[in-house]
A = this chain, B = another copy of it.
Amino acid sequence: MSGHKRFEIIANGNITTPAGFRAAGLHCGLKKTQRNDLGVIAADHPCAAAGVYTTNAFKAAPLIVTEESLSRTGKLQVMLVNSGNANACTGDQGMADAREMRKLAAEAFGVSEDLAGVTSTGVIGELLKMDRVRGGIARLSDATHATAASGDQFSQAILTTDLVKKEACVRVMIDGVAVHIAGTCKGSGMIHPNMATMLGFMTTDAKISSATLHALLKETTDQTFNMITVDGDTSTNDMVIVMASGVANHETELTPAHPSWVDFVSGFRYVGEQMAKAIARDGEGATKLIECTVEGAITQEAARGMVKTIIGSSLVKSAVFGADANWGRIIAAVGRAGFPVRTDAVDIRLGGIEVLRQSQPVEFDEDRAEAYLKGDTVHIIVNLHHGEGRATGWGCDLTYDYVRINAAYRT
C-alpha cells in the first residue's frame, strides 16, 4: 500500500482506539436471538463530522434525521445505531420514532439533539418496537466505555446477516504525533455501489475540519465502499459517518496543504478499503472475495462501470463459485456495460493465468485455473488497451446460501 510506510496497521484496533471516543453495544430485543442490536459511539466533545448517504429515493427515517443534525452543526457527538429493523418505509410513525431515538440518545449522553445522529439496519417496512429501543437506550450510557471491549460490543451491535464483525485501524504520524483512524462497518446483502445496506462508522483523533473531512470521505467512499457489490441492490439505509475528535495533539490542522496529508489520506483510504473488502468477502452466502481490476479503459468512468458490471454479473459470480474459468461471461459483461470498447483488443487474466489476449482465446491449463478459482480470493484483471482509465472493485461469488438466506429473511 505504501512504499515508505505512510501508516502503520494496528491489528486489534477499533473505533475506540482513536482518543476521545467511547462506545457500547447491547441486546435490547430487536433481534430474535441474544445478539447485540443497539449500539452507540459517544465522543467526549463535539466532533467534526461528515456523512455520505444512500442514493435510494426512499431514504430511511434515521438517515433524514442524521443528515438534519449534521447539516445544522457540521458536528456530531453521539451516534446511535440499532440493527434488526431498518425503520425504512415506515411512514410518519417511522419518522417520529427516529426523532424520538435521537432525542433519547441526546438526553442519555447530555448533548444537544443537533449533535446526535441515529441509524438503523434490518428489515424494511416494519415499525420499530420502540419500548425495547427505549429500554435499551436507558441502559446504554452505563455500558459506554473507551475500551477496546466496548468498541467490539459496538461492532457486534451493527451486524445483521453478517457472519463476522468488520474493523480496521491505522496509526499515522502527523507533526511527530501519533494520529489514529479506525472504522467498523456492516453489510452483507443489498450491497451495491452507491451505498448499500451498509453502515460504516469511522473515528479519528485527528484535528481536521468538517469540510475537509467530508471531501476526504466522499473521495474515499467512491474508491472503496462504492466499488463493491454483493447483489446489485442499493438499500434505503446506507450511510458512512466519520467523526474526528481533534484530541491528537498535532500542531496544525490537517488540510490538503499539510505535509503529511498524503500519509493521512493513505491511512484513511486503507481503513475504507479494508472495510469495503470485508463487506464483499462476507457477502451473503459468499465463499470467496472477487477483486476485479479494469485497466486501459477509455475513461476512469468506463473502468468503474465495467468493474461494477463484472462483479455484479450473476453469471460471473456463479462461475467463480463453481471454480469455472468461464471468461466468456466476463467479456460479455464488459460488452454490455455501456461504454466504448475496442472489441479486438481485450486481454483477460485470472490471477496470473492469461485466458484472452487481444480478444482471442488463449490456451490455458484448466486444472491450474480451477485450482486458482478454488482459492479464497479471485482476481479478475481486464486490460482494454484503449486509454488510461483504471479502477478496482470487490464482490463475491453467488452461492446456494445466498438464495437460502434471502428466500426467508423475515421468517
Q: Are A407 and B322 in contact (CB under 8 A)?
A: yes
CA distance in complex: A398, B324 (Å): 20
Q: Are B403 and A331 in contact (CB under 8 A)?
A: no
CA distance in complex: A344, B234 (Å): 19
Q: Are B125 and A361 in contact (CB under 8 A)?
A: yes
CA distance in complex: A86, B57 (Å): 40
Taken residue by residue from 165 to 209, chain A's Cβ proximity to chain B (1 for < 8 Å, 0 otherwise) reads as 000000000000000000000000110100000000000000000
Q: Are B126 and A233 in contact (CB under 8 A)?
A: no
Taken residue by residue from 118 to 141, chain A's Cβ proximity to chain B (1 for < 8 Å, 0 otherwise) reads as 000001111100000000000000
Q: Are A91 and B324 in contact (CB under 8 A)?
A: no
What B residues does A408 contact at CB under 8 A?
A: 322, 324
* CB of A273 to closest CB in B, whole Å: 24
Check if A314 is an interface residue, CB within 8 A of chain B.
yes
Check if A148 is an interface residue, CB within 8 A of chain B.
no
Check if A231 is an interface residue, CB within 8 A of chain B.
yes
What B residues does A400 contact at CB under 8 A?
A: 400, 403-404
CA distance in complex: A400, B86 (Å): 27
Contact residue among B189, B361, B405, B407 (Cβ-Cβ distance under 8 Å from A89): B361
Copies in the complex: 2
Q: Are A321 and B361 in contact (CB under 8 A)?
A: no
What B residues does A356 contact at CB under 8 A?
A: 89, 125
Check if A236 is an interface residue, CB within 8 A of chain B.
yes
Q: Are A58 and B331 in contact (CB under 8 A)?
A: yes
Check if A220 is an interface residue, CB within 8 A of chain B.
no
Check if A260 is an interface residue, CB within 8 A of chain B.
no
Q: Are A407 and B327 in contact (CB under 8 A)?
A: no
What B residues does A332 contact at CB under 8 A?
A: 56, 58, 88-89, 124, 190, 233-236
* CB of A356 to closest CB in B, whole Å: 7
Q: Are B409 and A231 in contact (CB under 8 A)?
A: no
Q: 10 smallest A-B Cβ distances: which pairs?
A: A124-B328, A322-B407, A318-B406, A58-B335, A57-B335, A125-B328, A91-B360, A234-B336, A56-B335, A231-B314
Question: Given known contacts A89-B328, A233-B314, what 4 new A-B pairs fall within 8 Å (CB)?
Answer: A58-B343, A86-B328, A126-B361, A318-B403
